[in-house]
């Protein structure tokens, strides 16, 4: 039994130990630098591979949802499709509009990818597996997340095309609007954990009562926060049903209308990497990070749990994309400011009440009521508020 | 309740997702190059030249009359008439196309060439997989690439080809009968003429 536990622990720490072994031969002066480079390379490779797998998974999943096969030509089950796509986009002509601001036009996709990768620095993807344990990790993550808006605006502005500019403005309006509920929904966790460090937030959740974990999602305020966070994250990463900035079927590609070839692929990569990062943050904040869902499964390596949870969230993203139609611009804004913002603010009070009330069923009842009742009332109220006006046309009659 | 419709929709898509793995009836996609829908008989793509017999040069029905070239709306046919004549399938000496090119990148598949041809020499093909990496040479079909046998024509458009064959047979029979009648008339006239000359010699002829 002890052997087994020892083995499981070693398996859990296999990457950490391997990195130590690899770096131990180097002179001490350059060890920190090499350690950082090694971790960064690992993160880039792992999540770029995950991006490739996800594009395949998404096309397959959407295909099956629409009763199609999905890609099945390149390799077994179409598994080599991402490689084919990569080669295709690499060999395509890179068109830059003649009036574009060339430097900014070039930098925008680079910045987007760089910004989306920077967030992984504070994501604990396993026990002792975090690049930097910042004491303001969550704050850092959201600060880096807003860099993506800058990249979007750079893309729209530098293309010098009215479609790109309008698309960028829509995208930024959406991203800024949804950043508010995104951050407010995560504040409840920070309140409860009393820390901005992602590592200590996960450590706090990695304990068990009997077999049940102490994940924040299993509390009324945590559940509400998780749902709000995920909705905001969907909008933040421009995914369906909030994919107005891209709007494949209506506007051509929004802010990246004027991008082609590999730069276009970089935008794609950046968007997906950003989505994984936000999903990883949701896992860290609400779903217990790398901790196992039951105490008796704790022997499974921690990074396996992180990626299992990440893949589960990605699957739900794909499922949602295959189900919901696109929102209208006013619906999008109304959802952010009239429903999600009040709910997120109210959730702060719920979390506070939860903190000060004694543990027990009464606390559960009160806090659940504080989440459910406003949710129903708010959605009802918004439904009743809807008035249909008779539209008058001044010129066509 | 808020979100009820979303959950309903997600249940529906989940049913589709798992159902597509269980029942094959859901997947209506045809795996195109391997599987194909049965072709509609009257389908058409681009024109081709029909030849009788085994040798495409010998049996070419086309006599280079250039009607199709003149009628072609997008002007995608180019014909050069031969200097000499060669016997056609029935043995009658005919002109033949020294050059017969169709640019199928220009052709609009209107079938006018096939309709105006008095010799049933040009007909519509059904091949559709004509894509190639080369934009020019592989889409300019010369007479060798255009020539396809009468059997092929019968296999792709059986009804239409049967009518054409019947018409051609009737026409040939009519021609043969006409030729026969002509020869008969000629022999009769010859006989009459000999009889007349005979009678003339007997009577001593007109004075």
DSSP track, A349-373: HHHHHHHHSPSSHHHHHHHHHHHHH
Domain presence at residue A16? no
Residue B87, φ and ψ in degrees, nearest 5: -65, 135
Count the domains in chain A: 1
**Smallest CA–CA separation between A60 and chain B, in Å?**
10
What ipTM goes with this model? 0.80
B87 touches chain A (CB under 8 A): no
CA dihedral A154, A159, A164, A165 (to 10 degrees): 60
Domain presence at residue A84? no
Alpha-carbon distances of B66 from B35, B62, B111, B174, rounded to whole Å: 40, 9, 15, 25
Domain presence at residue A146? yes
pLDDT at B205 over 60: no
- Is it true that the peptide bond before A241 is cis, omega within 30 degrees of 0? yes
B29: chain A residues, CB-CB within 8 Å: 68-69
- Its domain, for residue A267, covers 99-383
All residues at 6 or more sequence positions from B73 whose CB lies less than 8 Å from its CB, including other chains: B108, B110, B112
Give pLDDT, residue A111: 93
Nearest-CB residue to A323 (from B9, B20, B27): B9
Mean pLDDT value across chain B: 87
**Quick check: A273 and A51 in contact, CB under 8 A?**
yes
Give pLDDT, residue B2: 66
B1: chain A residues, CB-CB within 8 Å: 376, 379
Under-70 pLDDT residues of chain A:
1, 248-252, 385-388, 396-397
Angle at A108 between CA A105 and CA A109, to 5 degrees: 110
Closest chain B residue by Cα to residue A67: B27
**Smallest CA–CA separation between A65 and chain B, in Å?**
4
pLDDT at B89 over 70: no
Residue to substitute from B9, B17, B25, interface A, most A β-carbons within 10 A: B17
Domain presence at residue A26? no
Give pLDDT, residue B202: 66
Alpha-carbon distances of A173 from A128, A166, A257, rounded to whole Å: 38, 11, 18
B203 touches chain A (CB under 8 A): no
- DSSP for B135-174? SSGGGEE-HHHHEEEHHHHHHHSHHHHHHHHHHHHHHHHH
The CATH number given to B47-165 is: 3.30.70.3270
Q: What does the pLDDT average to over B138-167?
A: 91
Alpha-carbon distances of A309 from A253, A275, A282, A293, rounded to whole Å: 30, 14, 10, 10
Give A122's DSSP letter.
G
Domain presence at residue A196? yes
Give pLDDT, residue A238: 84
What is the number of helices (H) and of strands (E) in chain A? 15, 2
Domain presence at residue A52? no
Give pLDDT, residue A129: 84
- Cite the DSSP H helix spans in A66-206: 81-91, 102-118, 137-145, 147-158, 162-193, 198-205
pLDDT at B67 over 90: yes
B27 touches chain A (CB under 8 A): yes
Q: What does the pLDDT average to over B126-145?
A: 88
Tokens for A372, please give them.
């459910």
Give pLDDT, residue B191: 84
B14 touches chain A (CB under 8 A): yes
Q: What does the pLDDT average to over B40-55?
A: 89
Contact A319 B14 (CB under 8 A): yes
Nearest-CB residue to B2 (from A69, A323, A379): A379
Indicate the pTM of the whole model.
0.81
pLDDT category, B148, cuts 50, 70, 90?
very high
Q: What is the pLDDT of residues A307-332, one digit of tens each?
A: 999 999 999 999 999 898 888 888 88
Contact A64 B20 (CB under 8 A): yes
Alpha-carbon distances of A40 from A48, A62, A81, rounded to whole Å: 12, 32, 26
Contact B10 A67 (CB under 8 A): no
């Amino acid at each position: 039994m002890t052997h087994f536990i020892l083995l499981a622990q070693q398996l859990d720490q296999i990457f950490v130990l391997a990195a130590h072994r690899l770096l131990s031969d180097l002179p001490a002066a350059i060890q920190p630098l090499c350690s950082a480079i090694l971790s960064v390379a690992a993160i880039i490779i792992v999540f770029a591979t995950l991006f490739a797998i996800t594009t395949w998974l998404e096309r397959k999943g959407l295909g099956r949802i629409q009763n199609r096969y999905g890609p099945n030509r390149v390799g077994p089950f179409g598994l080599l499709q991402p490689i084919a796509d990569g080669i295709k986009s690499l060999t395509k002509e890179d068109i830059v509009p003649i009036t574009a601001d060339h430097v900014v036009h070039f930098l925008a996709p680079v910045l987007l990818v760089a910004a989306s990768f920077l967030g992984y620095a504070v994501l604990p993807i396993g026990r002792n597996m975090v690049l930097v344990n910042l004491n303001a990790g969550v704050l850092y993550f959201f600060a880096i997340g807003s860099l993506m808006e800058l990249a979007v605006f750079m893309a729209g502005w530098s293309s010098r095309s009215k479609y790109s500019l309008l698309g960028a403005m829509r995208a930024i309006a959406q991203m800024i609007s949804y950043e508010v509920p995104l951050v407010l929904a995560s504040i409840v966790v920070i309140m409860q954990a009393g820390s901005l460090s992602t590592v200590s937030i996960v450590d706090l959740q990695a304990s068990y009562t009997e077999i049940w974990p102490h994940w924040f999602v299993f509390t009324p305020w945590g559940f509400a926060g998780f749902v709000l966070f995920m909705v905001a994250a969907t909008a933040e990463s421009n995914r369906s049903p909030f994919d107005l900035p891209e709007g494949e079927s209506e506007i051509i590609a929004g802010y990246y209308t004027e991008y082609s070839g590999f730069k276009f692929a970089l935008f794609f990569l950046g968007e997906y990497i950003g989505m994984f990062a936000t999903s990883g943050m949701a896992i860290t904040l609400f779903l217990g990070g790398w901790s196992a869902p039951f105490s008796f499964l704790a022997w499974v390596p921690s990074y396996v749990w992180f990626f299992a949870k990440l893949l589960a969230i990605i699957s739900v993203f794909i499922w949602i994309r295959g189900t919901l139609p696109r929102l209208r611009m006013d619906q999008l804004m109304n959802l952010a400011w009239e429903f999600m913002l009040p709910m997120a603010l109210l959730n702060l009070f719920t979390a506070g009440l939860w903190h000060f009330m004694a543990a027990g069923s009464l606390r559960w009842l009160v806090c659940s009521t504080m989440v459910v009742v406003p949710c129903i009332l708010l959605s009802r109220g918004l439904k009743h508020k809807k008035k249909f006006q008779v539209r008058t046309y001044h010129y066509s009659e | 309740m808020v979100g009820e419709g979303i959950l309903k929709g997600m249940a529906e898509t989940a049913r589709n997702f798992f159902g597509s793995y269980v029942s094959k009836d859901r997947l209506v996609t045809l795996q195109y190059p391997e599987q194909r829908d049965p072709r509609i008989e009257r389908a058409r793509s681009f024109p081709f030249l029909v030849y009788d017999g085994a040798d495409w040069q010998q049996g070419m029905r086309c006599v280079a009359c250039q009607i199709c070239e003149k009628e072609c709306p997008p002007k995608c046919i180019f014909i050069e008439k031969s200097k000499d004549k060669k016997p056609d399938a029935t043995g009658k000496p005919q002109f033949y196309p020294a050059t017969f090119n169709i640019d199928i990148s220009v052709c609009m598949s209107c079938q006018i060439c096939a309709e105006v041809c008095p010799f049933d020499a040009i007909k519509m093909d059904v091949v559709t997989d004509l894509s190639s990496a080369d934009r020019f040479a592989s889409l300019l079909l010369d007479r060798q690439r255009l020539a396809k046998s009468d059997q092929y024509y019968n296999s792709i458009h059986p009804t239409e080809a049967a009518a054409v064959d019947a018409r051609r047979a009737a026409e040939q029979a009519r021609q043969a009968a006409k030729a026969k009648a002509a020869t008969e008339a000629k022999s009769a006239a010859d006989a009459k003429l000999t009889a007349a000359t005979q009678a003339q010699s007997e009577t001593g002829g007109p004075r």
